Chains A and B, each alone.
Chain A
Amino acid sequence: MSERSPRQGRDAGVDEILEGRREPGPVARKLPGPVAWFDIRGRSTGHLAFSLNRITGLGLVFYLYLHLLVLSTLLRGEGSWNGFLEIATTPLFLGFDVLLVFGLLVHGLNGTRLALVGSGFVPNRQKALFWSFMIFGAIVLVYTAIHVFGSEG
């Protein structure tokens, strides 16, 4: 982490917050100084975002290997692939499709937020960004679900 030595004339309590940010661990920490108020419930939102990001990230890693396993049936020729397709087009598995997209949206949009804020491209307004991204994601998810189940029959 970059050195952030306490400067003169900081608001009360800021040094404590900055100190807290140095501790390792999976906690999104309070914003410093003037914007600290913005983060009143920031801790819980940050926590939620972090947990969701981690769970979906791990889920996607699991999916990646499942995917490679499934794709291996392609090697055994058209017959085995078609067998898989029959299973994959049942409503249950189309439901899994929607679940996967949910994970991708949550993780991808949340990850984009972290990348944008973390690299300094956009102002540090995590909570507003989080919720606007998630609302956008919800719209895309509903569209996807309609598309997946709509084209099933």
Chain B
Amino acid sequence: MATGPAIATGSPRSRSWRWTAITGVSLLALVTIHMVAHHFVVDEIGGLRTYQHVLDYISTPIIFVIEGGFLVVVTIHAMLGLRSVLFDFGLSERRRRLVERALVVLGVATVAYGFALIGILASRA
């Protein structure tokens, strides 16, 4: 691995960079599934999902698991991304820790809200 790549964000091959890359590449698959499922499967209405479609869709166990996984992965990726953007402002060690804690709180809140949302929707179907 002597040929270092010109990686821009954070310090290359740091733990946070590795997880940004891993979650990012997983997102490629998850986002594609999400978009294709929502836009191409239900053809007769131009791919658009009605209220009932959404309930039926999300109450399917395997779909619920995939969408839930998507929620978790995209949130982790987004928080790591924000972290690297914020860290580039040259924050002090203390501010960095503050940013990290705030992002953990925001991420947990986002995932909790997202699961509450799809949980309620699934229970209505």
Contact = CB atoms under 8 A, between A and B. Distances in A.
Q: Does chain A bind chain B?
A: yes
A65 B111 CA distance: 11
Given A57-B81, A104-B31, A28 B8 contact: yes
Interface range on chain B: under 10, 10 to 19, 20 to 34, or 35 or more?
Answer: 35 or more
B110 interface: yes
A75 B6 contact: no
A108 B13 contact: no
A8 interface: no
**Dominant secondary structure of chain A at its interface with chain B:** helix
B1 A61 contact: no
Contacts of A61: 78, 81-82
A46 B54 contact: no
A9 interface: no
B61 interface: no
A40 interface: no
Given A31-B6, A119-B21, A124-B5, A25 B28 contact: no
A82 B51 contact: yes
A68 B113 contact: yes
B89 to A, nearest CB: 11
A32 B4 contact: yes
A142 B46 CA distance: 17
A30 B4 CA distance: 10
Contacts of A29: 6
Contact of B25 (A26, A58, A115): A115
Interface string B1-37: 1111111110111000110011011011001000100
A53 B77 CA distance: 14
A26 B18 CA distance: 17
A12 interface: no
A21 B50 CA distance: 51
A46 B6 contact: yes
A85 B48 contact: yes
Interface in A69-93: 71-72, 74-75, 77-78, 81-82, 85, 89
Interface of B: 1-9, 11-13, 17-18, 21-22, 24-25, 27-28, 31, 35, 46-48, 50-52, 54, 74-75, 78, 81-82, 85, 88, 90, 110, 113-114, 117, 120-121
Q: Across chains A and B, which 7 residue pairs bring their CB atoms closest together, nearest first?
A: A115-B21, A151-B46, A78-B51, A28-B6, A111-B24, A117-B5, A50-B8
Given A21-B6, A29-B6, A46-B8, 14 more contacts: A4-B2, A4-B4, A21-B4, A24-B88, A26-B8, A26-B88, A57-B85, A61-B81, A85-B50, A112-B24, A114-B21, A118-B5, A124-B6, A126-B5
